[in-house]
Amino acid sequence: MNLEFLPDLSALAILIVILALVRRRHSEERADAWLLGLLLTLIEAVAHTFYPTEGVPNKWLHVIVLECYLLAGLVFIWAAGDRRLSRSSRLTYLALNGLPLLCLTTIYGLNLRIERLYIPAVVAGLLIGIGSSIALRRSWINAALYGCGWIAIGALVAKLDFRAAVYWSLACVYAIAALNFQRQLERRSTGRVAIVTGFSIWALCLLMHPWIIDHYPSYAGIASHVWNMQKSLISIGMILVMLEEQVSNNQWLALHDELTGLPNRRLLATRLSSAIEHSDRGNTSLALVVIDLDGFKTINDSLGHPVGDQVLREVSAMLRRSVRASDTVARLGGDEFVVVATDMANANSVERFVDSLRGAIERPMQVSGHSMQVSASLGIAIYPEDTKDAAKLLRLADQRMYFLKKRPVQPAQIAPGYKAMPSA
């Protein structure tokens, strides 16, 4: 048993436990994949400690180590994969291209050094890599890269350099993982730097391993410590990414309504101030519209709060689609929304804008198997005609909304607050 690996093994195990604890607040598929990949590296590290200090390792231990290298790399590629592909397409693509590599590492791990055993795996990898890249990814560039990679592996096999062929293929897997994480993670993330650096070192270690073993075996111990160091680097990077995303999520929640994703009262105040400054610079008017759904309590009482929440999400989505990118839709709480629209040319443009909001709100919707339609009371205040103070502008629009809401309902003017219609 090689006891010198135990400190690195213990450090990796501790980091995995910490990552698992952080993941409890960060439930997503990617975090689960990260944990699985690191657990595979932990298994590889445990198996490595049983390698003899000198001589050829036990073939079954060698198989475990190589398969863990490969499977961990494939899991990390999955975790940092292209989200433009569907889940099933990504899984199919990864499984198809991973199978020839699995055959290659298994044959080598079993200490079989017969050329004809490797050739079928190389040919299959070449055909699958090119075919799947064209059929699933629609990418001729990927197909060309796979072709070049497998041709290089085949050339090494033909030279009977089986170690270089296997470790070259593993280096490519980890290089792909590094590139994927480079593309997918937030650019300003400190954790991204650690992860990409770690995977780049990992790929470089695998690439140089045959050369070091063949020409500089005395440096193999140093290379092993570098190899173990980057595992901890990657683990720390993943913990940092998850913590950074939690902080970012908390900052987002501080400024947005959790149910609808709309700006909350705090962010509305900032957006309204910016909109007023924009209106002052352009000498234009600004419309602030306070919206309160009519009869929303009836929905909650008759169909339940989950349905009511879904109605609020549908209304918020329809409002967002009905305004310009420069406008703001916010939720103040309950069933009350606010819309801030700049560059209102005249009273007619304000009237058309309000009509578009009302039309969006009153559009029939399907919610939990129920067809329904809601209406709303809208209060409007115009800057600077009504007032030049932001707080007064909001208060004035709110007062006008409540004034309309308290009026007797006129069937010819206002639709009922909640109408259950036959399901489509």
Asked if residue 15 lies in contact with residue 232, where contact means CB atoms within 8 angstroms, the answer is yes
Return mean pLDDT, the chain: 86
The amino acid that residue 45 corresponds to is: A
Could you tell me how far CA 359 lies from the centroid of its own chain?
Answer: 34
pLDDT band at 2 (very low <50, low <70, confident <90, very high): low
- The per-residue b/e assignment along 339-374, b for 16 or more CB within 10 angstroms, e otherwise, is bbbbbbeeeeebeebbeebbebbbeebebeebebbb
Residue labelled with tokens 């030279």: 159
Q: How far apart are CA 199 and CA 235, in angstroms?
A: 11
Cα(183)–Cα(135) distance, integer angstroms? 23
Does the pLDDT of residue 3 top 70, yes or no? no
28-32, Cβ contacts within 8 angstroms, sequence gap of 24 or more: 30/79, 30/80, 31/242
Q: What's 4's DSSP letter?
A: G
pLDDT score for 145: 93
> Does residue 199 sit in helix, strand or coil?
helix
Nearest of 126, 103, 1 to residue 58 by alpha carbon: 1
Among 172, 210, 178, 171, which Cα is nearest to 194's? 178
Cβ contacts of 410 within 8 Å, gap of 6 or more: none
- Range with the largest mean pLDDT of 118-127, 234-243, 250-259: 118-127
pLDDT in tens, 65-103: 999 999 999 999 998 877 777 888 889 999 999 999 999
Q: Which tops the pLDDT comparison, 150 or 217?
A: 150
Catalogue all structural domains in the chain, each as residue range(s) with its CATH number: 3-254 (no CATH), 265-421 (3.30.70.270)
CA distance 216 to 362: 76
pLDDT tens for each residue of 198-224: 999 989 989 988 888 777 777 776 777
If one counts every other C-beta atom within 10 angstroms of the C-beta of residue 282, the result is: 11
Q: Position 202: which residue type?
A: W
Q: In the structure, what pLDDT confidence band is assigned to residue 296 with cuts at 50, 70 and 90?
A: confident
Residue keyed to tokens 């070449």: 126
| 421: exposed, middle or buried (Cβ count in 10 Å: 0-12, 13-18, 19+) | exposed
Instruction: With a cut of 60, say whether residue 415 has pLDDT above it.
Output: no
From residue 394, alpha-carbon distances to 265, 348, 361, 390 in Å are 11, 21, 20, 6
pLDDT in tens, 339-388: 999 888 788 888 889 889 988 888 888 887 778 888 889 999 999 898 88
pLDDT bracket for residue 413 (50, 70, 90):
very low
